[in-house]
Amino acid sequence: MHNIENNKIELKESISLVVGNMIGAGIFMLPVSLSVYGSISIFGWLISGFMALILANIFKRLSIKYPGESGPFYYTEKSFGEFVGFFVIWGYWISILLVNASLAIAITSYSTIFISDQENTKFSLPFAITIIFFIGFLNLRGIKKVGKFQFITSILKVLPLLLTIFISFFVFDLSNFTPINISQETNLEAITITTALTFFAFLGIESATIPADKIKNPEKNIPKATIIGTTLTLFIYLFSSIAIFGIMNPSDIAVSNAPYADAIGIVLGDYGKIIIAIFAIISGVGCLNGWTLLQIEIPKNLSEKRLLGTFFSETNSNGVPYKGVIASTIIVCILIGINYSKDLSNLFTYLILTSTFCTLILYFFISLSEIIIVFQKKKNFSSNYKSLLSGITAFIFSIWMIVGVGYESIISGVILLSLSLPIYIYQKNYAKHK
């Protein structure tokens, strides 16, 4: 028991898992995607941030209700049954694979500051794949190593965002915020799409609930990590995004491969630009590290429930499902390869919207679970109105965001989600289990 406890992460690492999985290279690339719409995207940040806090509270309550359980699968299974639980967590796993592919793209994009030829697919594709394999190898060393690496990179990654906020006080230009909507879309359409884009940056709210068996005192630390991590992330996102619009004109942001680095470069020159790019790459690598942990934990949990092959639950001497690491790493590399006909910024936008759609399916069912739990407590119905209000708000928001991601990402997401049906049928009826 002593050795098992020593191989678990504590509250600070749990918080860094939440913060680290949300604050990644994505935030450093998002200004490019948002610049098409102008400063109206700030409203997108406010709405998505508010909803992230509501969802964080839902996950907090569920983690208290079901302490020590492996997060989303268990929560949805208890309300809707095993197949829906599998369908939802399958979609969530797909979303993580897409997130990791997008992170590799973002890291590669920031690396073009150092190697200009890397914009050529000939160089950028091998570079992105190398990053994916490096993090996969790190995760093979066990949860303690992953937790320490995540904690260090989580601290380092907020530094360039805080520096951007500080620098903006000296060069803030209000004219960059007008007109508020520079796109051809209506204000409602622009807010919808920017909310969908910015909400991608909050994916990871539930990160601490998934490796529940690897966290010390999960009944206390998981709820704390979820709320603290989400709140810290919201403030950092909001103020750093306002700051970058204050420094750069949207038209300049739109043509940048590394907007935060270019923004700081305006004030501090090439030296500052290089420093920020380094921190952005560290941020992306740290985020990729945290998501890779979840990327291998989910199929492992499903395998232990006999919903995926035993292949995914075979562990090495560090307790890591090494075959799952190898398989999922290869899948991410394939996702990058088959989509690399797009340029870096368009590829990044496509991947994050498809990933967001798959994760929204999880949030859709989680919000329904919250509503169902309230109605099951008939005697205490009046005292649970906050939970009911949170569930209904999150439910409506999920539907709105599903529409907001666009038809291309919806079609891609539906195709990927539909793969869960034959896999579930095979595992329940034909697979042989040891």
For 118-150, how does the pLDDT look when each residue is reduced to its tens digit (9 = 90+)? 455 567 788 888 999 988 888 887 777 777 777
The per-residue pLDDT for 68 is 61
Whole-angstrom distance, CA of residue 115 vs CA of residue 132: 19
Residues 103, 25 contacting (CB under 8 angstroms): yes
The per-residue pLDDT for 209 is 67
Whole-angstrom distance, CA of residue 45 vs CA of residue 64: 28
CATH number at residue 182: 1.20.1740.10
CA 4 to chain centre: 28
- Is residue 434, in this structure, part of any structural domain at all? no
Buried b (16+ CB within 10 A) or exposed e, 191-210: bbbbbbbbbbbbbbbbbbbb
User: Which residues touch 24 (CB under 8 Å, ≥6 apart)?
Assistant: 103, 106, 157, 283, 284, 286, 287, 288, 291
- Is residue 127, in this structure, part of any structural domain at all? yes
Residues 192, 21 contacting (CB under 8 angstroms): no
The per-residue pLDDT for 307 is 87
The per-residue pLDDT for 25 is 58
In the chain, what is the straight-line distance between the N-terminal and C-terminal CA atoms, in Å? Answer: 26
Q: Tokens 């090494």 label which residue?
A: 322
Question: Whose CA is closest to 272, among 128, 159, 358, 417?
Answer: 159
Taking the whole predicted model, whether its pTM rises above 0.85 is answered as: no
- Is residue 328, in this structure, part of any structural domain at all? yes
- Please state the φ and ψ torsions of residue 379, each to the nearest 5 degrees: -70, -30
The per-residue pLDDT for 204 is 75
- Please state the φ and ψ torsions of residue 317, each to the nearest 5 degrees: -65, -15
The per-residue pLDDT for 343 is 59
Whole-angstrom distance, CA of residue 360 vs CA of residue 199: 10
- Is residue 112, in this structure, part of any structural domain at all? yes
The per-residue pLDDT for 151 is 78
3-state SS class at 9: strand
- List average pLDDT for each run of 10 residues in the chain, which is 434 residues long: 55 76 71 88 91 86 73 80 90 87 80 64 78 87 74 80 87 90 90 85 73 70 82 87 90 82 82 79 83 84 85 82 88 79 63 84 90 75 76 92 86 91 89 62
Domains contained in the chain, number: 1
Residues 208, 414 contacting (CB under 8 angstroms): no
The per-residue pLDDT for 345 is 57
